[in-house]
Amino acid sequence: MTQLLIGFVVALAVGLTGIGGGSFTVPALLLFAGLSAGEAVGTAFVFAGVVRLVAAPFYLFSRQIHSRYFWLLLRGAVPGLFAGTLVLRLVTERGGNPLVIIILGVVLALSSALTFAPRARNHEFAFRNSHWLPWLAFPIGLESGFSSAGAGALGTMLLLNYSEMAPSQVVGTDLLFGLVLAVIGSIFHWSLGSVSSSVLFPLLLGGLPGVLLGCLLSRRIPAHRLRAVIAVLAICAGLQLVVSGVKARAQKAANANKNVAVSSEGYRTASPVR
């Protein structure tokens, strides 16, 4: 039941705003489903891919896609995605590094807060400096490959605050952008066996009606309200990642101290009595 609810809520956010595929799913799977970091990321990738595949036609048929910005983002994000996935594999083999998740959460929350600071936005930036988009998309792809988060939240915030597009077009463009990254990431993680089928199917069972409802509601929400909803959800996702990263970092430190204590006790017990 918990996984059905997680799938519905996350998919509703994806259909409505394009955000949530990884930013919400990974922390939820880590906290409530008990998956390892590698399985949580892999499962979130496949879930986000299917949900975005359902949502994409709603925005494609209404022509809410900026094709030029979409291809420029992919040029930088796809190499970053492969690099991030390789980093994830190396890090999980060594016990993980929650600091990266904390950094993502801080960046996501701060960048989303720019929406409420009009002077910090520059809607002509992408139009005048489109050659920078692949470079700005590379770290988004890197973070997406590492944690499955970022493609929706960071990509949306980038286009929302630094392009001339309307909020609905931002959601459509970033949703298709996230779909491509999710498909590529899903194939990679499935080949590695880091996808939990027992968790994935309940997520999809709740997610499919959620994403359909979100896409239908997105057409009825005024642009300025949609912008605010996107920003608030992204800030919440960022803060959630910070909390999850801090908890994981504390747990990792506690386990390390425990191992040191056990090793020291074992050494004293094994030492010969003189």
Please report whether residue 52 resides in a domain: yes
pLDDT tens digits, 1-36: 778 888 898 888 777 776 666 667 777 787 777 777
In a domain, 254, yes or no: no
Q: Is 205 helix (H, G, I), strand (E, B) or coil?
A: helix
163 secondary structure, DSSP code: S
Q: Among the ranges 92-96, 133-137, 224-228, which has the highest mean pLDDT value? A: 133-137
Tally DSSP H helices, then E strands, for the chain: 11, 0
In a domain, 258, yes or no: no
Question: What pLDDT is recorded for position 161?
Answer: 75
DSSP 223-237: HHHHHHHHHHHHHHH
* 5-9, 56-60, 198-202, 255-259: least confidently modelled range: 255-259
67-81, 155-169, 252-266: the lowest-pLDDT one: 252-266
With beta carbons less than 8 A apart as the criterion, state whether 143 and 84 touch: yes
| Residue 159: predicted pLDDT | 80
pLDDT over 60 at 37, yes or no:
yes
Q: pLDDT tens, 68-77?
A: 888 988 898 8
139 part of a folded domain:
yes
User: How many angstroms separate the CA atoms of 181 and 100, rounded?
Assistant: 20
**Residue 99 maps to a domain:** yes
Number of domains in the chain: 1
- Mean pLDDT value across residues 215-240: 72
3-state secondary structure of 186: helix
75 contacts 137 by C-beta, under 8 angstroms:
yes
CB 162 within 8 A of CB 174: no
Domain enclosing residue 196, as ranges = 2-248
pLDDT of residue 237: 72
Distance between CA atoms of residues 245 and 239, nearest Å: 10
What's 165's DSSP letter? Answer: -
Helix residue ranges per DSSP H, 94-152: 98-113, 125-128, 133-147
148, part of any domain: yes
Determine the Cα–Cα distance for residues 161 and 164; give it in Å rounded to an integer.
8
Orientation of helix 167-192 relative to helix 223-270, angle to 10°:
30
- What letter does residue 130 receive in the DSSP assignment? G
Q: Is residue 212 part of a domain?
A: yes
Is 102 within the bounds of a domain? yes
DSSP code for 18: S
